[in-house]
Structure 1
Amino acid sequence: MTTAADIMNPGPQWIPATETLDRAAQLMRELDVGALPVSDPTDPRERMMGIITDRDITVRCVAAGHDPSHVTAGDLCQGTPRWIRSDASVDEVLDEMESHQIRRLPVIDDDKRLVGVISEADLAHHLSDEQLAHFVERVYA
């Protein structure tokens, strides 16, 4: 059985909730990624408090007239972060992403530590054409 660990990108880069969005955008450019998990710097276990995307920075900060050098990653984190265990099946991954209409899904290990992220590109490399079409239909509906 293919698991989340088999299809994820390992070793995701964190950004602290206290870091500004201009730095987040720079880090995204350096890493060539479109999203960063946000960590709670007050939690010694570095737990994830959310995820921010390049689109969040553009739409919710810059287009809203805010200065990204004065808005933090934590300011954009809303709601409960979604994640999946590394031993979850591909069907569970798809269900989580489809039911919440998300395009990137953090992966955690047994100790609830972030070990990877699954993106649409990862799915495209591991799903059948039929599975991928169903995913796209559900997430973009």
Structure 2
Amino acid sequence: MKVKDVMHERAEYINRDRTVREAAEMMARGDYGCLPIEENDRMIGMITDRDITLRVVAKGLDPNVTKVSECMSKGIEYCFEEDNLLDVGEMMASQKIRRMPVINDKKRLVGMLSLGDIASKARDQSLSHEILSHVSH
């Protein structure tokens, strides 16, 4: 089974210079838990709802002026839509990654793969269980 068979096909990214408020609004509109951060047409990190809560709200920062680059998780793991789901799932488990951007052969963002996608759509329920248990611990 390939990543494209289970991934969530809607995905967006946000530029590193945009505000946390803009990111939160995009996340709310799209019902996303995270957004990849881009700079010069390259993914450089990820911002999650948890990042916003812990790195902005809990610290009393103003989301209207705080840039996503100030609170993002730096670095990013991604996979290709044609990758084998088992291989990607094992990588997610070993690196404790819950969501992963999916790109095509032209290196364009085409979707997101989440643990929920694997759990609900993967035909092999033992794979799904194994991946979920490794990431959750």
Asked whether the two chains share a fold, i.e. TM above 0.5, the reply is: yes
Counterpart of 2:92, as a letter, is M
Normalised by the length of structure 1, the TM-score is: 0.88
Aligned counterparts, 1:54-69, within 5 A:
54-69=49-64
On the 8 A contact 2:10/2:110 being kept in 1, the answer is yes
Aligned counterparts, 1:108-123, within 5 A:
108-123=103-118
CA drift at 1:80 = 2.1
Matched, 1:133 2:132: no
- Unaligned stretches of 5+ residues in structure 1: none
Counterpart of 1:22, as a letter, is R
Cα distance in 1 between the residues matched to 2:42 and 2:70 = 16
CA drift at 1:109 = 1.5
Residue of structure 1 in register with 2:69 after alignment = 74
Q: Taking every aligned residue pair, what percent have the same amino acid on both sides? A: 34
The 10-residue stretch of structure 1 (123-132 or 65-74) with the greater mean CA deviation from structure 2: 123-132
* CA deviations over 1:27-61 (Å, ceiling 9, x no partner): 11111111111111xx1xx2211111111100111
On the 8 A contact 1:3/1:88 being kept in 2, the answer is yes
Normalised by the length of structure 2, the TM-score is: 0.90
- Among 78, 99, 111, the residue aligned to 1:83: 78
Residue of structure 2 in register with 1:33 after alignment = 32
Cα distance in 2 between the residues matched to 1:38 and 1:47 = 8
Cα distance in 2 between the residues matched to 1:91 and 1:125 = 15
CA drift at 1:106 = 0.6
Counterpart of 1:60, as a letter, is R
Cα distance in 2 between the residues matched to 1:91 and 1:75 = 34
- Unaligned stretches of 5+ residues in structure 2: none
